[in-house]
Amino acid sequence: MSRMKLGVFGSAFDPPTLGHLDVLQQAATCHDRILLVPSAFHAFDKKPQPFSLRLQMLQCFIDEADIGCPLEVCDLEAELLEQNPGMPVYTYDLMMALEQKYQNHSRTIIELSFIRGPDNANPETWKRFHKSAEIKARWPIFTATERVAIRSSDVRSILESGKIADDDLQQGLNRLLPSVQAFIINHNLYQKGNS
């Protein structure tokens, strides 16, 4: 039987940035494949773009990203949300569902691990995760270091501001892969009145 190290990287991906790309480049060295899981109902009360738009942006992102490890968009959180409408989908529940999904995989033993960026590794943030101790005890955790300080919230702030100069707008877009930039422009996302 073969083994596959499958990393799970969850985020709002609102939008996916070069910061996310850097986390994935670091994680690629330890994984055979990585699932990118956009949050369907964020546990920390974030109000992102609609799930379907974030899935499409994420597909643009992975089609362009070349990190030496296959990337795959996983919409499992939407299924879990359907089972418990109006309730956050917690990382612990996602990992349990993925473990169940892959436990009887044909001829391959799937070893799941959780990938977290530097923001979620912060002890104050990590302890807010539902069952954080159980996650740490049950699955290996890959923690990326901050080499690229780009956050989705900063990109949104730049794009949402109605008073920015064209260079500021370009500076915000430059924090994204070109395919994600094009998707945002083509769908008129984040700009005032459209978020």
Tokens read off for 27? 């994680």
Record the pTM: 0.91
- pLDDT tens string 16-75: 999 999 999 999 999 999 999 999 976 555 678 999 999 999 999 999 999 999 999 999
Model confidence at 88: pLDDT above 70: yes
What is the enclosing helix (H) or strand (E) of 78?
helix 76-83
Task: Round to whole Å and give the CA distance between 176 and 119.
Answer: 18
Tokens read off for 30? 């330890």
**50 contact partners, CB below 8 Å, separation of at least 6:** none
Which residues face 38 on adjacent strands? 11
pLDDT reported for residue 170 = 72
Task: Round to whole Å and give the CA distance between 29 and 31.
Answer: 6
Tokens read off for 19? 């910061």
In the chain, where the domains are located = 2-148
- pLDDT tens string 95-153: 999 999 988 766 888 999 999 999 999 999 999 999 999 999 999 999 999 999 999 99
**Whether 102 contacts 8, CB under 8 Å:** no
Task: Round to whole Å and give the CA distance between 193 and 160.
Answer: 8
**Amino acid letter for position 47:** K
Task: Round to whole Å and give the CA distance between 75 and 130.
Answer: 20
Three-state SS string over 149-186 comes to CCCHHHHHHHHHCCCCCHHHHHHHHCCCCHHHHHHHHH
* Homologous superfamily of the 2-148 domain (CATH): HUPs (3.40.50.620)
